[in-house]
Amino acid sequence: MRIKTDHVTNSSSASFMIPKSALTEDQMKMIRDYHHTAIFLHKAYPNEEKYNFQYYDKGWVIEETQHSIQGHTSMDNFNMFQFLIAIGVSNVEIHYEHAG
């Protein structure tokens, strides 16, 4: 039997990019403030599975360019892809990468 004796982590990294042309202004506001939006949606709709994000950490860095909103994290405990779908972002517009 093997026993791991060094640092053990469940961390992973992930990133996304969405063209602003594919988003409404409300969606952009929700992405910018995803942490509070996710908590609000879960409290407002406690029986809706799509709003049960399980983790509500602030580990995502959200950045914008003139043409896109991007996010990245090195500790992916918040399911950003689930969040983006839940707020109505088309999954064909989300360019998402996950490494773990």
Q: Residue 28: pLDDT above 60?
A: yes
CATH architecture of 13-99: 2-Layer Sandwich (3.30)
Report how far residue 57's alpha carbon sits from residue 73's, in angstroms, rounded to the nearest whole number. 11
Q: What's the confidence (pLDDT) of residue 55? A: 73
Q: What are the backbone dihedrals phi and psi of residue 15, each rounded to the nearest 5 degrees, phi first?
A: -155, 160
Nearest to 73 by CA among 62, 87, 85, 86: 62
Q: What's the confidence (pLDDT) of residue 100? A: 59
Tokens of 67: 């043409």
Report how far residue 32's alpha carbon sits from residue 58's, in angstroms, rounded to the nearest whole number. 11
Distance of CA 98 to the CA centre of its chain: 11
Question: Domain limits of the chain?
Answer: 13-99
Q: What's the confidence (pLDDT) of residue 57? A: 73
Tokens of 39: 């908590």
- The predicted-structure confidence for 45-100, as pLDDT tens digits, reads as follows 999 999 988 777 778 999 999 999 999 988 757 888 899 999 999 989 998 877 65
